[in-house]
């Protein structure tokens, strides 16, 4: 079935460090891919998305590229801030469906 | 634009009690869903609805009921609460953004069953 696997956390980085959170997917067709962010005590918010192979989604300094050949959608940021501390979820939806599949989430803590 | 709203924010129940978690959206979305979030488990789908009058089970439906009488509202009922239902519950609605669905989440209800 369709699924998403993301790297286990927690991840702890110093401010201004480079961030990568790995995400790979399994899908029988053509999915759209998403990264959601959950700040402490809040619901999930859409961070970025990509709808087809080689698309790059970007927002707030975060980027992710849809790689069909490696079935991946890794999240990157060049210089993290304390305010980026949150849980990040990778997700997919099939382009012919309306059900989302989420990874288990990766907790990020950025220390000053 | 309120988006997805959930009430209450926090709730403590005793084992065996019943309650309803409320969820409403003002985006006219057909698709709504309920998830529970537990440490190390990510989000697990409880029930979902593709429109008024239509509901279906997700991954972990046992112990929960839903109904969808209007497009806006999608309440989740716990008929007889158990400690295993201690969790954070999120309601979400999905709508088309271009050709692809995007999902919007409520702020969550933190439920403790003692």
First and final CA of chain A: distance in angstroms? 41
User: How far apart (Å, rounded) are the C-alpha atoms in residues B112 and B107?
Assistant: 16
Judge whether A79 and A61 are in contact, CB under 8 Å. Answer: yes
Assign B98 a pLDDT band (cuts: 50, 70, 90).
Answer: confident
Cα→Cα distances A52→A33, A63, B26, B96, B100, Å: 8, 15, 29, 16, 11
Q: Assess whether pLDDT exceeds 90 at residue B87.
A: yes
Percent of chain B predicted with pLDDT > 70 = 99
Backbone angles phi, psi at A83, to 5 degrees: -70, -10
What are the E-state strand segments in chain B? 4-7, 10-13, 19-25, 31-38, 42-51, 54-57, 64-66, 76-78, 87-97, 100-105, 109-113
Q: Residue A109 forms beta bridges with which residues? A: A12
Q: What is the DSSP string of A47-107?
A: EEEE-STT-EEEETTEEEE-BTTTTB--EEESS--GGG-EEEEEEEEETT---EEE---EE
User: How far apart (Å, rounded) are the C-alpha atoms in residues A88 and A100?
Assistant: 15
Report CB contact under 8 Å: B105, A89. no
Residue B39: what pLDDT?
Answer: 83
Average pLDDT score over residue span B79-91: 96
| Cis status of the peptide bond prior to B8, with omega within 30 of 0 | yes
Assign B100 a pLDDT band (cuts: 50, 70, 90).
Answer: confident
Taking any CB pair shorter than 8 Å as contact, residues of chain A touching chain B are: 32, 34, 36, 42-46, 49, 51, 89, 91, 93, 95, 98-100, 102-105
Average pLDDT score over residue span B15-37: 96
Q: Name the 3-class secondary structure at B83.
A: helix
Q: Assess whether pLDDT exceeds 80 at residue B101.
A: yes
Residue A19: what pLDDT?
Answer: 97
Judge whether A34 and A95 are in contact, CB under 8 Å. Answer: no
More confident residue, B19 or A41: B19
Query: Beta A11-14 vs B64-66: how paired, if at all?
Result: unpaired
More confident residue, A8 or A77: A77
- B4-7, strands of its sheet edge to edge: B4-7, B19-25, B76-78, B64-66
Per-residue model confidence as pLDDT tens digits over B46-72: 999 999 999 999 999 999 999 999 999
Interface test mutation site (partner B, options A41, A98, A105, max chain B beta carbons within 10 A):
A98
* B19-56: b (≥16 Cβ within 10 Å) or e: bebbbbbeeebbbbbbbbbeeeebbbbbbbbbeeeebe
Residue A35: what pLDDT?
Answer: 97
Taking any CB pair shorter than 8 Å as contact, residues of chain B touching chain A are: 4, 31, 33, 40-43, 45, 48, 50, 90, 92, 94, 98-108
Residue A8: what pLDDT?
Answer: 83
Per-residue model confidence as pLDDT tens digits over A1-59: 888 999 888 999 999 999 999 999 999 888 999 999 999 989 999 999 999 999 999 99
């Amino acid at each position: 079935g369709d699924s998403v696997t993301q790297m286990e956390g927690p991840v702890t980085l110093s401010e201004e460090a480079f961030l990568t959170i790995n995400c790979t997917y399994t899908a029988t067709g053509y999915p759209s891919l998403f990264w959601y962010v959950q700040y402490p005590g809040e619901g999930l918010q859409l961070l970025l998305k990509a709808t087809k192979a080689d698309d790059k989604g970007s927002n707030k300094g975060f980027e992710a590229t849809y790689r069909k050949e490696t079935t991946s959608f890794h999240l990157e940021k060049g210089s993290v801030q304390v305010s980026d501390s949150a849980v990040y979820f990778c997700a997919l939806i099939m382009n012919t469906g309306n059900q989302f599949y989420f990874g288990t989430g990766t907790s990020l803590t950025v220390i000053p | 634009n309120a988006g997805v709203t959930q009430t209450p924010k926090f709730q403590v129940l005793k084992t065996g009690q019943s309650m309803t978690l409320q969820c409403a959206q003002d985006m006219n979305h057909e698709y709504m869903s309920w998830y529970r979030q537990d440490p190390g488990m990510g989000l697990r789908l409880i029930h979902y609805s593709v429109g008024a009058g239509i509901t279906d089970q997700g991954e972990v439906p046992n112990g929960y009921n839903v109904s969808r009488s209007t497009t806006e509202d999608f309440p989740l009922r716990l008929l007889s609460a158990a400690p295993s239902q201690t969790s954070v519950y999120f309601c979400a609605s999905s709508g088309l953004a271009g050709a692809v669905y995007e999902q919007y989440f409520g702020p969550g209800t933190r439920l403790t069953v003692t």
